[in-house]
Amino acid sequence: MRSNEPTISVISLERGYQANAALLHAHGKALQVMRAKGSFKPILDNALVPVLPCERCRDGGLRAMGTVRKGGCLQRAHACDTCGTVQLYELPDDIMP
């Protein structure tokens, strides 16, 4: 981790199928746009992924929805199960999505 990167607090860990189920009925515009990107790959059912706090609504959890290439980097996309906000987090080189 670089010294200038903010620390991300993790609420819990869950499997990809749990994250997918939590986002099943989330239909925000940002989610639709992310899922439509050509480089988007959904999270695998058995992947162990973090649930992060949503800074926007402070009520829901940011659930992993998949990975996307942006600016030459692989990033994991998380979406809030309450307000639909989408956040991207750069994956370190030694982490598999």
Question: Are the C-beta atoms of residues 63 and 35 closer than 8 Å to each other?
Answer: no
pLDDT by 10-residue block (mean), the chain, 97 residues: 57 91 82 90 92 88 91 89 89 59
Question: Are the C-beta atoms of residues 95 and 40 closer than 8 Å to each other?
Answer: no
Q: What is the pTM of this model?
A: 0.80
Q: What is the pLDDT of residue 31?
A: 85
Report the distance separating Cα 59 and Cα 86, nearest Å: 14
Which residues fall within 8 angstroms of residue 17, CB to CB, at 6 or more apart? 45, 46
Q: What is the pLDDT of residue 91?
A: 75
Residue ranges covered by each domain of the chain = 12-90
Q: What is the pLDDT of residue 86?
A: 93
Burial class (CB in 10 A: 0-12, 13-18, 19+), 86: buried
Q: What is the pLDDT of residue 73?
A: 86
